[in-house]
Structure 1
Amino acid sequence: MDRLIAEGLLNVSDKLFTKDEVSCLNFHLNMKEFSNSKGRRNKYMHGSYEQDTKQQQVDYLYFLRTTILIPIKLRDDAVLKRRWFSD
């Protein structure tokens, strides 16, 4: 792994999410990074959501998926850290 890092093939960061993961989350949740983003968090935080039940269900399932994936990411990172520093 040290060789991959030294060759620039693997990036190491002290952040929970990679830059690409943050961009993906920003695309779906915020109007921060992309002009064509979904802005789901903004819609519901600022009360500008549609009354379309189908769209609300899609948004809910996305929020649910994101809520489930974050603890899985935390667990995976903890397992990798334990393996990395156990030597």
Structure 2
Amino acid sequence: MSTASERSADNGEQDIQAQRESLAVTINALAEKADVPTRLKSQFAATAERLRERPAMVAVVLGSALILGVVVARRKLRARSSSGA
């Protein structure tokens, strides 16, 4: 038969082990959060994969950006030529 002090010691060991496991989980979570380069690579890979799945959307966005760039450039050129005349 085990005595009350032995059961108390067993419970104490179990508590310590549970705290160690909890601390290990917390430390691992903090380490993952602090590893910015790995997180950025992962986010970049996920974004690249989404873009590969939607080539039409990429084409629309790039085309729109190109058209906007041309319009802005032409307006600047016209503004320069009209102010210099």
Common fold by TM > 0.5: no
Q: Which has the higher helix share?
A: 2
- The two structures have a TM-score, normalised by structure 1, of 0.35
Task: Say which structure, 1 or 2, has more relative contact order (CA 8 Å, 6+ apart).
Answer: 1
- The two structures have a TM-score, normalised by structure 2, of 0.36
Q: Larger radius of gyration, structure 1 or 2?
A: 2
